């Protein structure tokens, strides 16, 4: 189980040109080990930059990315090892499928790690199981899969490396509700089975509320809020001031309070709302 | 489910009857995507189309603006029968002027180096006189609230701003219909609100027929009517309240209901006396509040 932290990290696109954009401005934060942590923020808030910094795809202009307290850029030649430990699933990862079979695609990462054939096969099967991809699909071409299945295969390819930190940038974007639930359940399975730390970027407040232990809010290249899910979503006005929101169900609870119903604050899921309202209506 | 009065009337803006469409896969075999779909959309109507990935939603959208051709059935859009062999290229160009599409990825649909040039792209291609292009571009940017960005570079805008520029580009062609194909999927909550409130206002104030394809159930709740596609067929059709009253059917089709609706169904299942099908936050709050007051009065009498 690994702890990831940013220590005074600044990242600027086009630094020194007239077009420079500060993507992260002196950001320090720690992602709690073994948690599912959500990162939310308006477009351009620095979310995607941050996830690309976490596994060394981008290098901070200043500051450090720490994995278990060690600067991941201390030995740049060993960056590949860092990338095995911090697995990144980028946006629309299904566009990166390229092998002839789903099995070969999922095996690509473990193969690069130099694992034995048996270990690779075991990891491929485990990864497919985590994301709910039927074993019979391992022998077909990834290009014959449906959109949702392709997404699962691509995520399984990163899970097969058993990263201690799994980072996913908008893993459910563009999927229908069932596809979205399947992907989120797969990520939860992986976290439960491996104890890995999971970091998820999303624009869906409803998904984040149902899924995350901790939430980090980025706004204008800085950390705007961070804490447990309940702490963060209790700041509805602050979230809305930076282009974000609370789940629809939370808005409903506020509307009920305005009408005089005695419902508690801090309700972020449909299940919690049901529990709170049942005694008032039965 | 109730059928709309205007159903299967070729006078409607869109009239589809037993519409079929197929693709050829890489082995040359025909794969039918739409298996005989019938529906109408009246001028000025606001229709949301829901369906799982691969259900045929985007195929339907591409048929409506002539990117794809029907393989069978009838499809009349703006008075043109698109299934007829007599359709000319000019008919298709006119169709694309009238039916503008906004796609999912804001980065894939802006072509020019300045916002105003991007908006001018459509009318320039239509051969509109220069002075009129200027007027149309200015009016379109004002309508979507992007006047201040006319001379900005599109790639430096936020996702919501880019989508609004794409909408302005369509407006400058004076369309009668806009189709948003998951145009809010990549946006943050503020961006989603920006885009939706812009197109809903155009629908209300300018009478532009609006078709939104979405995976966000609470966006579909805004529409006049919802059409649910499942495996290339229409599964449900009706007002949002009618459609979201069928959570089991929607779930079986890989979909969902808005959180508010899910809550009301859940409370009703455990015995709460809640009548009606609220789909918005306010409707739902009113319903729960009424039930709560009735119960309080009832308790007091008892």
pLDDT above 90 covers a percentage of chain A that reads 87
Question: Per DSSP, what are the bridge partners of residue A165?
Answer: A86, A197
Residue A120 confidence (pLDDT)? 97
Structural domain contains residue A174: yes
Q: Which of A21, A47, A274, A275 to mutate to test the interface with B (most CBs of B within 10 A)?
A: A274
Pairing of strands B80-81, B72-77: antiparallel
Question: Per DSSP, what are the bridge partners of residue B228?
Answer: B50, B236
pLDDT at B6 over 50: no
Residue A274 confidence (pLDDT)? 95
Q: Do B188 and A280 touch (CB under 8 A)?
A: no
Q: Do A43 and B273 touch (CB under 8 A)?
A: no
- Residue in A with minimal Cα distance to B283: A252
Structural domain contains residue B168: yes
The answer to whether B120 and B137 are in contact (CB under 8 A) is yes
Chain A hits for B256, CB-CB cut-off 8 Å, are 177-178
pLDDT at B3 over 50: no
Asked if A279 has any chain B CB less than 8 Å from its own CB, the reply is: no
Residue A163, CB-side half-sphere exposure with 13 Å CA sphere: 29
| Integer Cα distance of A42 and A174 in angstroms | 18
Asked if B10 has any chain A CB less than 8 Å from its own CB, the reply is: no
Structural domain contains residue A109: yes
Chain A hits for B217, CB-CB cut-off 8 Å, are 177
Q: Do B254 and A44 touch (CB under 8 A)?
A: no
Q: Are residues B268 and B226 in the same domain?
A: no
Q: Are residues B209 and B188 in the same domain?
A: yes
Cα radius of gyration rounded to whole Å, chain B = 21
Q: Are residues B133 and B272 in the same domain?
A: no
| Integer Cα distance of A254 and A247 in angstroms | 11
Structural domain contains residue B140: yes
Q: Are residues B97 and B141 in the same domain?
A: yes
Nearest CB neighbour to A175, from listed B215, B258, B267: B215
Asked if B218 has any chain A CB less than 8 Å from its own CB, the reply is: yes
Structural domain contains residue A252: no
Residue A79 is given by DSSP the state H
Nearest CB neighbour to B190, from listed A170, A243, A274: A243
Pairs of residues, one from chain A and one from chain B, whose beta carbons lie less than 8 Å apart = 125
Q: Are residues B94 and B188 in the same domain?
A: yes
Residue B10 confidence (pLDDT)? 59
Structural domain contains residue A237: yes
pLDDT at B219 over 50: yes
Q: Are residues B240 and B285 in the same domain?
A: no
Q: Do A247 and B263 touch (CB under 8 A)?
A: no
Kindly write down the DSSP assignment for every residue of B248-299, as one continuous string. Answer: HHHHHTT----HHHHHHHHHHHTT----S---SHHHHHHHHHHHHHHHHHHH
The confidence band for B273, taking pLDDT boundaries of 50, 70 and 90, is confident
Q: Are residues B171 and B265 in the same domain?
A: no
Asked if A38 has any chain B CB less than 8 Å from its own CB, the reply is: no
pLDDT at B301 over 80: no
Q: Do A248 and B295 touch (CB under 8 A)?
A: no
Kind plus residue range of the DSSP H or E element containing A228: strand A222-228
Structural domain contains residue B6: no
Query: A162 lies in which domain range?
Result: 4-246
Q: Which of residues 44-63 of B touch A (CB under 8 A)?
A: 51-55
Structural domain contains residue A29: yes
Q: Which of residues 238-267 of B touch A (CB under 8 A)?
A: 251, 254-256, 258-260, 262-263, 266-267
Three-state DSSP at A244 gives: coil
Number of domains composing chain B = 2
Q: Looking at residue B119, which CATH number applies to its domain?
A: 3.40.50.300
The answer to whether B279 and A246 are in contact (CB under 8 A) is no
Structural domain contains residue B1: no
Q: Rounded to the nearest 5 degrees, what angle is found at the Cα of B279, between the Cα atoms of B262 and B227?
A: 95
CA B279 to chain centre: 17
Task: Please give the mean pLDDT across all residues of chain A.
Answer: 94
Q: Give the Å distances, CA to CA, from A179 to A37, A172, B54, B164, B261.
A: 21, 8, 11, 28, 20
Q: Are residues B42 and B180 in the same domain?
A: yes
Q: Which of B106, B107, B235, B288 to mutate to test the interface with A (most CBs of A within 10 A)?
A: B288
Structural domain contains residue B3: no
Asked if B27 has any chain A CB less than 8 Å from its own CB, the reply is: no
Task: Please give the mean pLDDT across all residues of chain B.
Answer: 91
pLDDT at A58 over 80: yes
Residue B9 confidence (pLDDT)? 62
Structural domain contains residue B4: no
Q: Are residues B234 and B266 in the same domain?
A: no
Kind plus residue range of the DSSP H or E element containing A200: strand A197-201
Structural domain contains residue B169: yes
Q: Are residues B240 and B272 in the same domain?
A: no
Structural domain contains residue A19: yes
Number of domains composing chain A = 1
Nearest CB neighbour to B189, from listed A245, A261, A281: A245
Helix axes A117-130, A147-159, angle to 10 degrees: 130
The answer to whether B65 and B101 are in contact (CB under 8 A) is yes
Three-state DSSP at A211 gives: helix
Q: Do B158 and A43 touch (CB under 8 A)?
A: yes
Chain A hits for B270, CB-CB cut-off 8 Å, are 274, 278, 282
Structural domain contains residue A254: no
Name the pTM for this structure. Answer: 0.90
The confidence band for B297, taking pLDDT boundaries of 50, 70 and 90, is confident
Q: How many CB atoms lie within 10 A of CB A62?
A: 11
pLDDT at B4 over 70: no
pLDDT in tens, B240-271: 999 999 999 999 999 999 999 999 999 999 88
Task: Measure B85 CA to nearest chain A CA, in Å.
Answer: 33
Q: Do B281 and A280 touch (CB under 8 A)?
A: no
Q: Give the Å distances, CA to CA, from B55 to A30, A169, B35, B52.
A: 42, 25, 11, 5
Q: Are residues B215 and B162 in the same domain?
A: yes
Q: Do B218 and A252 touch (CB under 8 A)?
A: no
User: Counting every residue, how long is chain B?
Assistant: 302
Q: Are residues B230 and B294 in the same domain?
A: no
Contacts of B22 (CB under 8 A, 6+ apart): B30, B31, B32, B33, B34, B71
pLDDT at B222 over 80: yes
Residue B1 confidence (pLDDT)? 47
Chain A hits for B280, CB-CB cut-off 8 Å, are none
pLDDT at B7 over 70: no
| Integer Cα distance of B300 and B302 in angstroms | 5
pLDDT at B231 over 90: yes
Residue B138 confidence (pLDDT)? 96
pLDDT in tens, B124-171: 999 999 999 999 999 999 999 999 999 999 988 888 889 999 999 999
Q: Looking at residue A154, which CATH number applies to its domain?
A: 3.40.50.300
Query: B172 lies in which domain range?
Result: 14-257
């Amino acid at each position: 189980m690994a702890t990831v932290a940013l220590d005074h990290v600044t990242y600027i696109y086009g630094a020194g040109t007239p077009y420079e954009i500060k993507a992260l401005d002196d950001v320090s934060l720690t992602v709690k080990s073994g948690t599912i942590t959500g990162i939310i923020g308006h477009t351009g808030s620095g979310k995607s930059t941050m996830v690309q910094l976490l596994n060394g795809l981008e290098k901070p202009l200043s500051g450090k990315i720490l994995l278990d307290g060690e600067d991941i850029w201390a030995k740049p030649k060993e960056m590949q090892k860092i990338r095995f430990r911090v697995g990144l699933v980028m946006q629309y990862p299904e566009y990166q499928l390229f092998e002839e079979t789903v099995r070969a695609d999922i095996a690509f990462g473990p193969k690069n790690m130099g694992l034995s054939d048996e270990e690779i096969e075991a990891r491929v099967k485990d990864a497919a199981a985590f994301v709910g991809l039927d074993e019979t699909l391992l022998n077909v071409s990834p290009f014959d899969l449906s959109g949702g299945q392709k997404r699962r295969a691509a995520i399984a390819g990163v899970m097969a490396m058993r990263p201690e930190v799994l980072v996913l940038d908008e893993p459910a974007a563009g999927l229908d509700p069932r596809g979205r639930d399947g992907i989120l359940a797969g990520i939860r399975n992986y976290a439960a089975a491996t104890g890995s730390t999971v970091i998820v970027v999303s624009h869906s407040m409803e998904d984040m509320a149902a899924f995350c232990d901790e939430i980090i809010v980025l706004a204008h290249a800085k950390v705007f809020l961070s804490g447990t899910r309940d702490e963060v979503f209790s700041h509805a006005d602050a979230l809305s001031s930076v282009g974000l929101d609370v789940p629809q169900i939370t808005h409903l609870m506020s509307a009920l309070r305005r009408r005089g119903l005695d419902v508690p604050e801090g309700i972020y899921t449909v299940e919690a709302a049901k529990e709170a309202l049942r005694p008032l209506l039965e | 489910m109730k059928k709309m009065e205007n159903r299967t009337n070729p006078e409607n803006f869109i009239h589809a009857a037993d519409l079929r469409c197929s693709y050829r896969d890489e082995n040359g075999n025909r794969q039918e995507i739409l298996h005989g779909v019938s529906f109408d959309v009246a001028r000025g109507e606001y229709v949301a189309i829901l369906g799982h990935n691969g259900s045929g939603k985007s195929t339907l959208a591409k048929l409506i603006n002539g990117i794809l051709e029907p393989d069978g059935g009838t499809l009349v859009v703006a008075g043109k029968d698109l299934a007829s062999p007599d359709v000319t290229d000019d008919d298709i160009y006119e169709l694309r002027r009238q039916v503008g599409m906004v796609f999912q990825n804001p980065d894939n649909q802006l072509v020019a180096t300045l916002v105003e040039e991007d908006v001018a792209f459509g009318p320039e291609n239509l051969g509109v006189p220069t002075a009129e292009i200027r007027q149309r571009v200015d009016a379109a940017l004002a309508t979507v609230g992007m006047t201040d960005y006319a001379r900005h570079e599109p790639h430096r805008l936020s996702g919501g701003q880019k989508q609004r520029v794409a909408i302005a580009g369509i407006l400058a062609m004076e369309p009668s219909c806009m189709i948003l194909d998951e145009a809010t999927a990549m946006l943050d909550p503020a961006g989603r609100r920006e885009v939706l409130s812009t197109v809903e206002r155009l629908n209300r104030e300018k009478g532009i027929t609006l078709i939104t394809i979405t995976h966000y159930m609470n966006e579909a709740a805004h529409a006049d009517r919802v059409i649910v596609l499942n495996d290339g067929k229409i599964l449900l059709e009706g007002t949002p309240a009618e459609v979201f009253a069928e959570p089991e059917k929607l779930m079986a089709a890989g979909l969902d209901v808005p959180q508010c609706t899910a809550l009301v169904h859940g409370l009703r299942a455990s015995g709460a006396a809640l009548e009606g099908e609220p789909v918005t936050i306010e409707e739902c709050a009113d319903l729960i509040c009424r039930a709560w007051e009735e119960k309080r009065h009832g308790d007091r009498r008892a």
